[in-house]
Amino acid sequence: MGSFWKYSCIILFSIVIGAASLASSEGGQVCDNSDNKMTTPPVIDLSSLLDSSATSEARAAVVQRIGDACRRWGFFQVVNHGIAQDSIDSFSKAMQDFFHLDTPTKKLVGRTADNSRGFADDELTKQRVDLKELFDVGHVPRPDLAPDDPLNHVLDGYNQWPTNPPIFESAVMDYYHNCANLSASLMAAIAESLGIPGSFFDSSLGGNHTSYLRLNWYPIFEANGGTSKGADATALGVSRHTDAGALTVLLQDSVSALEVYSGTKEDAGDGKWVPVEPVPGAFTINLGDMIQVMAVVFCFLLLILTEYFVHDLKMRYTYSVYPLDILLN
């Protein structure tokens, strides 16, 4: 496994300040998630949600499964999500080619005090440095103008692009827009599952929103001697946390590194950590802080918010999971 690199990409579909989510699988089998005794988050087939020719009964059944998963887990995986494999493949290659570049080259598009979009390798979670590198891009209000045009400066900054790989910008933005469309469909289904119109969240998610796409790379963890960041054999790629936004769409690769807490929070001691096994062709979805608050305030209904963490790659010798993923919020 010494030559294996783990990648992750996240798109955050946000309300006001951004959204985040992750999802989990159930052994790769599409299932009905209405059973609250289910031991892992479910996998849900979106065919009848996205197909305009599907019957209203079939669509309603998918909406109910999504609602059940939100109430029970706050996590689920989706298949037949409508995003073409070509888009995913082009994006994945561009992402991996970028992270293969040397660090000084990547830092040419590094984040700054005035712009939180771009490359970084010093992210903190729970006051600990994450064992990963990342690259953030996001919403562009005026795509007809240059990325750094003042009209494209939003709350978290503006997009900046490396010159290499040449297809990086086009592949990343194509993937971003596809995932944003999927996020909108999921938000509509979540609204319907709460008994409110599917358009309920539209005003919060439109216009100059701050949704963003995060690309994550979790380098190999060397058990003997740690990494350049001084990690030890008990280190995590990302410490346990909940996401701050509304919804996260995550694309995992074939290595499982994500664990989800089956209760509310670990501090409450009301659950256990459940490994999330990647399902080929699936996206992992999880709810963030904002969607839970909005559901309580506006609908008087509770959606579950679940903690998760990411193992470092070579922690396979200590834990049963490994680095993750690709995310879209």
> Tens digit of pLDDT for each residue in 91-143?
999 999 999 999 999 999 999 999 999 999 887 777 777 778 899 999 899 99
Confidence (pLDDT) at 188 = 93
What number of other Cβ atoms are within 10 A of residue 58's Cβ?
14
Strands 128-129 and 75-79: unpaired
Weakest-pLDDT range from 20-24, 86-90, 116-120, 304-308 = 20-24
Instruction: Tell me whether residue 229 is in a domain.
Output: yes
Residue 280: is it exposed, middle or buried by C-beta count within 10 angstroms (0-12/13-18/19+)? exposed
> Is the model's pLDDT at 41 over the cut of 80?
yes
Determine, yes or no, domain membership for 275: yes
* Residue 5 pLDDT grade (very low, low, confident, very high; cuts 50, 70, 90): very low
Give the pTM.
Answer: 0.78
Name residue 305's amino acid. Answer: L
Write out pLDDT tens, residues 154-197.
Answer: 888 999 999 999 999 999 999 999 988 999 899 999 999 988 88
Supply the CATH number for residue 311's domain. Answer: 2.60.120.330
Does residue 1 form part of some domain?
no
| Full residue range of the structural domain in which residue 127 is found | 6-328
Number of domains in the chain: 1
